[in-house]
Structure 1
Amino acid sequence: MHDSSVFLIEFGAIILGLGLLGRLAGRLRFSPIPLYLLAGLAFGEGGLYPLGTSEEFVAIGAEIGVVLLLLMLGLEYTASDLVSNLKTQYPAGLVDAALNALPGAAMALLLGWGPVAAVVLAGVTWISSSGVIAKVLGDLGRLGNRETPVILSILVLEDLSMAVYLPIITALLAGVGLAAGSLTLAVALGVAGLVLLIAVRYGRHISRFVSSDDSEKLLLVVLGLTLLVAGIAQKLQVSAAVGAFLVGIALSGEVAEGAHHLLAPLRDLFAAVFFVFFGLHTDPSSIPPVLLPALALAFVTTLTKIATGYWAAKRAGISARGRWRAGGTLVARGEFSIVIAGLAVTAGIEPSLGPLATAYVLILVILGPLTARYTEPLARRLTRRPRPEQPLAPPAQATPVDDQDTVGRT
């Protein structure tokens, strides 16, 4: 039995360190995810000071972090929103998957990692970071821009696709046969469809049952229900994350708002622990050998994400400036790329996959906010054509600011 005082000192130091890193990231105005990953690298296998007594608790906290990340994501959307997005924006979702998943799969095959690792790395390069992108949109004051609904639609489709993708890779990583894998996928699709149907028709009744004026009771019921459903989903090999996501979708109205407010601090705490846990299981010395592939993959998928956002915004009738802004905003990868890679690391399919994913996310979680800010002005400079001089120009009329790309601006 471990000494409880050593555990408290070690775990307390971890939480305090994460808090200080979060404050530093806030002052520098970028996502704290890379700092959390670096902290995990520093105190994990091959790091400066490997953890001892608290590692098991950190592992449990990491699982809860994944569950809460997906629960909070589900609380952001209603079932009707998801159905509407599927009907209107599915072409953009298909283009997004094709342009951004294929580079990851191709890289895994070029490195000789095999088809299972190719499916995993495809997911790592495909899914953008909803958390990082939402923060960037707020920091840049673009929540009211006309291209923002296009960005959010693509993120919703990516998140919803995880309900199909995660059971597939769970079955592949478990090494089950074709019949068992097909059964797992059928169960996942059936459960997802059933929950969406119940949420659309009976969401108000479910929310009324969970609702409580007492914040303590609401927190306990929502958190307990989420962990219960996540555990059952994992037993069925559907994925605990998908189970939590579906619980979030089923809740709506004041219950969803109240649960979001109460669970946000818990989400932030355990999500930070999750990123540290992923770093703990990555040996820093294993990153340099995969740094060049990570840089190449980051370069290619930066271009493909920009192309995705540009095409989707053009399809929605957004002007050229808004198209470039949409593309640059989608570049960041983060929490869900690490979630997907974490499943592969746990299964032990390819030792180099975890380090590659860590390096890749570190690059793009730092580059993402920069592309969101500078892609549009850079593209405008590169595509600007010199105007021929005219001998006599009529008096200039006032030209409106680019308000065609914004909503609610004066």
Structure 2
Amino acid sequence: MKGPILPDGAERLGLSGTALQAAWALLDHAVAQQNIPGGVALVARNGYFATYAAGHAVMGNGVAIPASADTLYDCASLTKVVVTLPLILMLSDQGKLGLDDLVAAYVPEFGQSGKHAVTIRQLLSHTSGLAAHWDLYSHGWTPNEMFACICRMKPAHVPGTRCVYSCLGYIVLGRIAERLLGEPFAQAAERLLFRPLGMSASCFNPPCEWRPRIAATEYDPALGGFRWGRVHDENAHAFGGVSGNAGLFATADDLARYAQMWLVSANAGVEKGDTVAATMHAHTGQANALLSPSAVRQALSSHTPHIPGAHRGLGWVLKDDPADVTGNGLSRSSYGHTGFTGTSLWIDPERDLVVVLLTNRVHFGRDTSIAKLRHDIHQAVAAAIRD
């Protein structure tokens, strides 16, 4: 990306400056209504991006830290598509696994209790039959004991017959990535994704000295304070803060860099043999990431055509899936994902558009909904497009 612009330069994004201000005003309104303590919105287009921050990253217990463009947020389930998905696709590109391979080929202990026929593709597309969630964290188990519990589970329904969003499936995918890459999950993410893409603020388990830059999530009575720099997802925390389903902390800028890889690959990647070199122009120079054209096409195709109402790619939520939060403003080819803490990343290749929304909506309690805010911001950004 070429760099940030101010709303009065919105024409570089092919957007109306007035309409872009209206999108920012939605964030201000959500803060004023105390739906969220604060947040950061980013719109990227035509190689440029505009970022807006409102409210506070931390607000309570006598601490008030304003949100800024550089605030790190607990990305929650964005971890699934920003880290786990690309690592699995890279392994597929390298021939180290096949998407239709049995999970039990790589994790033999997973093949028990009626899960012997579950495939990598089914885990990625949430059609594996695994339950949506399970309390692994409250038993005092070690990470290996928690993983063994998943492997012992019976499917909640027949694999391949339903699309049920499952954190458990992505925990398994994270373990597969570790085994095949021969290194810890967080280390693989740093080496293969964050460093090549210039995602300099992205990490698992951010260091203590970064705390003033991090948005706090939910108040935890056991801590006597907010979860601040510690992953909100209980299972991910029990896995040491690093898991295939959650644990990523990142800024809006870093997520936009990651999204740009998908945009370039989908639109006009520079082919080198059987790979696509997706190049991002950033403040600090260039970074490259490699995904094959076939991997990109696979991820952005529907893998649930036989399941009524579902429209899921590999990892990604596709247009008109029940989890699509964009309304009718983005194109049929748009795709994205949300995170429980109040985050989302959406990409529209037809419009060369990326929209990042980062909030810590659970700061006021996990029952607070930002469904309308997500919808309205995507609608407002789409309405701002002028070229």
- TM-score by structure 2 length? 0.29
- TM-score by structure 1 length? 0.28
Structure number with greater Rg is 1
* More helix, by proportion: 1
* More strand, by proportion: 2
Identify which of structures 1 and 2 has the higher relative contact order when contacts are C-alpha pairs closer than 8 Å and 6+ apart: 1
